[in-house]
Structure 1
Amino acid sequence: MTSWKERRVTGPVIRKPMQEVLLEKSPSGPAGFVLNKRQSMGDQLYGQILEQITSGRLPEGTRLPAEIELCKMFGVSRPVVRQALQRLQADGLVHARQGSGTYVMARPADRLASFAEPQRVAEFLRCIEVRLVLEGSAARFAAERRSPSELQAIELAHDLFAQEVARGQLSPQGDLAFHMAVAAASNNDFYPLLLEHLHEALEGFMNISLSLTRTSPRERASAVLQEHALIVEAIRVQDPDAAEVAMKFHITQARRRVIDRNRD
């Protein structure tokens, strides 16, 4: 009987044992699971598996080891393994089949590894969960409360970002300036303060997302700009529901652009 070490959904079996695939030395660092005080164990395990998926060492269709095996391989608890697998599944990278196991379902763009370490990608994607709530709410209040001068600031940030798109020189600073202008227009100082607190993760995520966009077909940059335009228009006409939906849609799409190789 074929073991979990070799089994695939379709195609030939993997000749190398799964433990060796997951623990082998990668171009970006040593083999094994080395704790980093700045990052949670869940983030690091997510990053370890993500790196193997992105590199192609774990191709689509590969069955991952069982939870208990991953615990032994990486020296972590079962809750840590479950957290990493749940987030990989939420990102559409793996899929759990009841009674069968967890399988690799998708692979991000190869060049993702050129723009950030996999563990940092996990951290940045976790920040998206906070941004959805925080910035969706800020956009709603901006639509309700913005002054003419605050709308002008949002439109100026949008125009400057559009100029970057036209030049093919998108920057995290330009993108962040737009989001900060929306937060400031909420007329609640906590929104820009909280975004400022998330600055490192925000800028890191935007750097990955915009780097992928710069190296993709031009339509991708146009999509980002159009999403910004929908937010601006909703705030301009003071439609809180539309502003919140537009902002959440934009952030969700940005997340998908990072992890889905088919969005090139």
Structure 2
Amino acid sequence: MASQRLFQQVAEQIVGLIRSGELPPGTRLPAERDLSKKLGVSRPVVREAMIALEISGFVEVKTGTGSYVAAATPRAREISDAGPSAFELLAARRTIEGEIAAAAAVSASSENIAGLDEALAWYRREYLKGEDSFEADRAFHLGVAEATGNSVYVRMVELLWGDMRGQIFSRLGELTKNSNKLRTNMADHEAIRDCIAARDAEAARQAMQNHIANVEAYFLMDAAEDGQPGQTKRITRGR
């Protein structure tokens, strides 16, 4: 099942089982890890397949208990287009935005640093209200790209963040939103800003890659969890 839209293929396999009656309405679907082994795909692919099925009305996701076959099977034979894979987007961002952060550390002006501080202040206000602001987050990452002085980098970040408005990415964000995730995002942004201001290109690259790896780790946590992924090291630089 090698494909750019692998999660869509997995979702279609599960729909086939639902339509055949092998998975009747109300059936609790196996855990993601079990489905991953059974279908020979990664857990991120299974998680995205579940979300695609939920968006299309074939599955109901119940926080803390799992995914269930919906009581009424949708008439549509095809699964709705849920947008690009969130985990593929994060993998691309980790590579591309990591290098952009390194370039920003070399080229950033005092005005660029001030712009990052403004975006941080915006995100901090939303964080204190318990909100995960897409626009404030986007403004910070665009600010990093703008600090390179390279308009192509800015366009690349704009394109990546445009794809993040897709249903898969948005739903994963909703399912995994918690206080620790917001705190981690805030701390990660501050670390990236400090590394750029310190003109440390390698640290800026690593800080950005750590940040995106943290987002990925949260996306793989169970929706009911309010913990921290603890998979990446924190890089800081004094202001």
TM (norm. structure 2) is 0.65
- For 2:180, the aligned partner's letter is E
Q: Tell me the residue number matched to 1:124.
A: 86
Instruction: Give the secondary structure class of the aligned counterpart of 1:186.
Output: coil
Give aligned pairs, total. Answer: 187
Structure 1 residue identity aligned to 2:198: V
| One-letter amino acid of the counterpart of residue 42, structure 1 | L
Q: CA RMSD in A?
A: 3.6
1:119 Cα shift?
7.0
Inter-partner Cα distance in structure 2 for 1:230 and 1:118: 38
Q: Are residues 173 and 59 of structure 1, via their aligned partners in 2, closer, same or farther at CA, if it must alter by over 3 Å?
A: same
Measured after TM superposition, the shift of residue 65 of structure 1 is 8.1
Counterpart mapping for 1:84-103 below 5 A = 85=41, 88-89=42-43, 91=44
Change in Cα spacing, 1:182 to 1:118, as seen in structure 2 (3 Å) is farther
Question: How much does 1:40 deviate?
Answer: 4.8
Runs of 5+ consecutive residues of structure 1 not aligned to the other structure: 1-38, 71-81, 95-107
Residue type at the aligned position of 2:182 = A
How does 1:1-12 map onto structure 2 within 5 Å? Answer: none
CA distance in structure 2 between the aligned counterparts of 1:182 and 1:240, rounded to whole angstroms: 12
Contact 1:209 1:254 in 2 (8 A): no
CA contact (8 A) 1:209 1:258 kept: yes
2:165 corresponds to which residue?
203
* Aligned match of 1:58: 30
In the other structure, the counterpart of 1:223 is 184
Percent identical among aligned pairs is 20
The aligned counterpart of 1:259 is 220
- The equivalent of 1:43 in structure 2 is 7
Amino acid aligned to 1:45: Q
Residue 99 of structure 2: aligned partner: 137
The one-character-per-residue Cα deviations of 1:10-55 (angstroms, maximum 9, x if unpaired) are xxxxxxxxxxxxxxxxxxxxxxxxxxxxx95423024457999xx9
**2:194 corresponds to which residue?**
233
Q: Summarize the Cα distance change of 1:156–1:260 in structure 2 as closer, same or farther, 3 Å threshold.
A: same
2: CA distance between counterparts of 1:109 and 1:226? 30
Q: Does 1:175 align with 2:153?
A: no
Question: Per the alignment, in what secondary structure is the counterpart of residue 119 of structure 2?
Answer: helix
Paired AA for residue 247 in structure 1:
M
Give 1:121 deviation, angstroms: 7.5
**Do structure 1's residue 189 and structure 2's residue 168 form an aligned pair?**
no
- Bigger Rg, which one: 1
Aligned to 2:211: 250
Q: Deviations over 1:205-255 (max 9, x none)?
A: 7644543454x2x23311111111110110111110110000000001101
CA 1:171–1:46 in 2, change beyond 3 Å: closer, same or farther? Answer: farther
